[in-house]
Amino acid sequence: MDFANLVAQLNAGTILPEGIIIATLLLVLVGDLIVGRTSSRWTPYVAIAGLLAAVVALYFQWNNPNSISFLGGFNSDSLSVIFRVIIALSAALTILMSVRYVEQSGTSLAEFLVILLTATLGGMFMAGADELVMTYVSFETLGISSYLLTGYMKRDPRSNEAALKYLLIGASSSAIFLYGISLLYGLSGGETRLTAITANILANNVDQSIGLLIALVFVIAGIAFKIAAVPFHQWTPDVYEGSPTPVVAFLSVGSKSAGFALAIRLLVSAFPAVSEQWHFVLAALAILSMLLGNVVALAQTSMKRLLAYSSIGQAGFVMIGLVLGTEAGYASMIFYLLIYLFMNLGGFACIILFTLRTGTDEISEYSGLYQKDPLLTLCLSVCLLSLGGIPPLAGFFGKLYLFWAGWQAGAYWLVLLGLITSVISIYYYIRVVKMMVVKEPEEMSEAVKNYPAVNWNLPGMRPLQVGVVFALVTTSLAGILSNPLFTLANNAVLLTPMLQPTITTIQPAPNPATPGYADLESETKEAIEG
């Protein structure tokens, strides 16, 4: 294989977005080394510009006919593109809110950005990894950088402790995941490409063996750790409470989306032989996550812990879409993640703002905030109500689509449970909102009484303001104008070849042979190309 031939086969253009992020990472790192501490004035904006450039590059990857690259190592199909966009956007929003937070804690910003960009890179590669080695290396890139980010406030014993717990639980879960992967390598007779594994497993007659089941269980343990599904959630509340809040925001959206992307790709392409079993296991995890996440959240007194448990519950809702295995199921899952990106990050931006001004994140300290800071109150209320699923807001439509898809696929119990737990979740979200807009001045908390004058001119406050307002606008408008996002999510599923065979085998209703379905497909293709 000569060099020119190899270059042609690699098809390296598909990782242009990741290449841009690596270039940005090096620029931030070297720029900070040369310029010194004053570089913190421009490094965050360089990082955000790089991430947005990556999103633009991803736009051109959409519906790429030649999506397989690196001899089967990476697949840049539409599914991976949309997940990579979600991860890159979550990192960009995280940087907006971390500038002030990191500055105020006296740590160096450039290294923080470098580690965060590496985590983003790991997540983006994980969303498209089509091969076992690539999956593992990107899984660990995301994991190890998350441990470092968690422990970044190194003089704080809580941050240390969170990092240690995250590291130990994360490393052991990734070792278990790796054991499952090694079994997969053995069962397929020495194959590492996901697309070839299934064929080999069938050829070797091990498709119903206990080995494949053990591999499945071990792999699901690794994935469930990443998406923080019960019973692999124990790290979540501690890590969320002890880590710097911007890191929590990234973990709850970026890292989690990467986990879902991995779950779809790995389970659909490598485990179709045990399809019933993994659907069953994931349904159980979804039920447990929805129940435990939402019920335990009721008892929380710290805002970060509240959002930790609520994010466990939200992961349960998203898993409904994964369990269904239908086209609408996958599409609703992507749609919900898109919306979740804005509303959850908006919520975290508000918490960061409140923390920076008052130095606390106790829920009781929020009482009476409306009279001191109406903008913050408005934004936090909108984001929390949207997370709970109150009608005109974006979250409502996300949940509606998820539950509708579930009802269509006949998963009645799952949908019913989802409805009940969303009602529970509305209760604890509203409790916070009610506390903030309380009228009487004497009910105001100490923190709010001493609330500093709203001043956006301090260094690093502007980006935070932009983040808060952006999240507020998108969360309120994405509900009414959700159609583009909706089409986007649907197209991402329609244009992904990997998801097509499972959809037709599991749900024969939209038969590809019928003219109506073919029309729909060609229409969408035209709509995308035009």
Partner 1 sequence: MELQYFLLLAAALFCIGIYGLVTSRNAIRVLMSIELLLNAVNINLMAFSNYLDPSGIKGQVFTVFVITIAAAEAAVGLAIVLSIYRNRDTVDMEQFNLLKW
Partner 2 sequence: MNLADGVQIVSFGVLALMMLGAALGVVLLENIVYSAFLLGGVFISIAGLYILLNAGFVAAAQVLIYVGAVNVLILFGIMLVNKRQNFVPLRNAWVGKITTAAVCLGLFALLGTMVLATPWAISTAPVAGDTSTVVIGMHFFSDFLLPFELASVLLLMALIGAIVLARREFLPDALEREETQQPVLTLPERPRELASAAPGSPDRTLGTSPTQRNV
Residues that bind partner 1 (CB under 8 A): 132-133, 136-137, 140, 144, 147-148, 151, 154-158, 160-165, 167-168, 171-172, 175-176, 178-179, 182-183, 185-186, 189-192, 234, 237-238, 241-242
Biggest alpha carbon–alpha carbon distance for the chain:
79
Residue closer to partner 2 (CB basis): 356 or 444:
356
Alpha-carbon distances, residue 177 vs 222, 381, 507 (angstroms): 5, 39, 30
- In 3D, which of 89, 155, 29, 52 has the Cα closest to residue 346? 89
Question: Shortest gap between Cβ of 159 and partner 1 (angstroms)?
Answer: 9
Question: Shortest gap between Cβ of 518 and partner 2 (angstroms)?
Answer: 36
Inter-residue contact 142 to 123 (CB < 8 Å): yes
Token duo for residue 449: 């009484």
Q: Is 159 in the site for partner 2 (CB under 8 A)?
A: yes
Angle at 114 between CA 110 and CA 118, to 5 degrees: 170
| Number of DSSP helices (H) and strands (E) in the chain, helices first | 24, 2
Question: Shortest gap between Cβ of 177 and partner 1 (angstroms)?
Answer: 10
Q: Is 195 in the site for partner 2 (CB under 8 A)?
A: no
Scanning residues 490 to 529, which ones bind partner 2 (CB under 8 A)? none
Question: Using CB under 8 A, which of 17, 44, 73, 325 touches partner 2?
Answer: 73
Question: Shortest gap between Cβ of 283 and partner 2 (angstroms)?
Answer: 23
Positive/negative CA dihedral, 218, 223, 225, 230:
negative
DSSP for 465-486 reads HHHHHHHHHHHHHHHHT-HHHH
User: What is the rounded CA–CA span in Å between residue 461 and residue 100?
Assistant: 6
Residue 304 interacts with which of partner 2, partner 1, none, CB < 5 to 8 Å by class: partner 2
Helix H or strand E segment including 74: strand 74-75
Q: Is 106 in the site for partner 2 (CB under 8 A)?
A: yes
User: Beta-carbon neighbour count of residue 443 at 10 Å?
Assistant: 11
Mention every residue, 6+ apart, whose C-beta is less than 8 A from residue 450: 358
Question: Shortest gap between Cβ of 171 and partner 1 (angstroms)?
Answer: 5
Positive/negative CA dihedral, 129, 55, 78, 308:
positive
Please choose, out of 127-135, 250-258, 394-402, 479-487, the segment that lies near partner 2 by the rule CB under 8 A.
127-135
Residue 441 interacts with which of partner 2, partner 1, none, CB < 5 to 8 Å by class: none
Helix H or strand E segment including 68: strand 68-69
Please choose, out of 102-110, 257-265, 273-281, 396-404, the segment that lies near partner 2 by the rule CB under 8 A.
102-110
Question: Using CB under 8 A, which of 16, 27, 29, 196 touches partner 2?
Answer: 29
Residue 476 interacts with which of partner 1, partner 2, none, CB < 5 to 8 Å by class: none
Q: Which amino acid is at 209?
A: S
Q: Is 133 in the site for partner 2 (CB under 8 A)?
A: yes
- In 3D, which of 304, 177, 332 has the Cα closest to residue 244? 304
Question: Shortest gap between Cβ of 168 and partner 1 (angstroms)?
Answer: 5
Residue 301 interacts with which of partner 1, partner 2, none, CB < 5 to 8 Å by class: partner 2
Q: Is 301 in the site for partner 2 (CB under 8 A)?
A: yes
Scanning residues 216 to 255, which ones bind partner 2 (CB under 8 A)? 241-242, 244-245
Question: Shortest gap between Cβ of 239 and partner 2 (angstroms)?
Answer: 13
Residue closer to partner 2 (CB basis): 210 or 513:
210
Q: Where are the alpha helices (DSSP H) in 389-436?
A: 394-408, 412-436
